């Protein structure tokens, strides 16, 4: 049993290799760091995804999420930044900054439910189509961001988490769901299966 610490880190990695008639590889990784003290909480997440076939790279995407919470009685004020670089996506660059108020609707040893709401600003850089020679103009939008963060401890070594985020803007609306199931195998090693969907 290690002594308690305000700093925690999670490192995840996945790899797939197909050979034979079809040659393809894919790799994904995620690093999450949390520094939680009495008055504040700092959280950072880095995600990377890469895929290729026997001829070319088919996917290359990087995500960076940063959030800082200042704790109040019964809630917290947060500032957040979400940044995405996607070489093959509809938008090659997405930057969203937001701030607002959040509170823990449920906070027990087994169940945690947090709600967040606040205004923000989003910058989207569209991906040019093949026959275009000039860059498409970037989209800029004032948004309202709402988020629901749920965590349920099923057993001593098993947990289920789900994060649902909605961004409403004049030009574009997005809805993102990130849910996963984690089972600790031994010491600091765990098996995890997750689904991430963005509409």
Tell me the pLDDT tens digit for each residue of 59-73.
899 999 999 999 998
CA distances 46 to 11, 28, 77, 80, 110, Å, are 10, 11, 22, 14, 27
Tell me the pLDDT tens digit for each residue of 72-131.
988 999 999 999 999 888 889 999 999 999 999 998 989 999 999 999 999 999 887 666
CA dihedral over 126, 127, 130, 133, signed as positive or negative: positive
Strand, helix or coil for residue 48: strand
Residues 6+ apart with CB under 8 A from 98: 79, 80, 81, 118, 119, 120, 121, 143, 145
pTM: 0.86
pLDDT of 147 higher than 70: yes
What is 132-149 written as a DSSP string? --SPPPPEEEEEEEEEEE
CA distance 1 to 134: 59
């Amino acid at each position: 049993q290690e002594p308690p610490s305000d700093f925690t880190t999670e490192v995840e990695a996945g790899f797939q290799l197909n050979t034979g008639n079809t040659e393809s590889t894919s790799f994904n990784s995620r690093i999450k760091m949390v520094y939680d003290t009495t008055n504040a909480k700092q959280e950072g997440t880095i995600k990377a995804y890469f895929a290729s076939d026997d001829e070319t790279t088919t996917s290359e995407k990087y995500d960076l999420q940063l959030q800082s919470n200042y704790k109040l009685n019964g809630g917290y004020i947060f500032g957040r930044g979400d940044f995405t670089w996607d070489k093959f996506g509809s938008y090659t660059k997405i930057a969203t900054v937001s701030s607002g108020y959040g509170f823990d609707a449920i906070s027990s040893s087994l169940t945690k439910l947090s709600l967040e709401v606040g205004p923000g600003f989003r910058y989207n850089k569209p991906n040019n189509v093949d026959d275009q020679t000039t860059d498409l103009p970037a989209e800029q939008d004032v948004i309202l961001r709402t988020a629901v963060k749920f965590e349920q401890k099923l057993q001593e070594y098993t947990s289920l988490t789900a994060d649902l985020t909605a961004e409403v803007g004049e030009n574009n609306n997005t809805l993102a769901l990130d849910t996963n199931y984690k089972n600790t195998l031994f010491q600091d090693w765990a098996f995890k299966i997750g689904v991430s969907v963005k509409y």
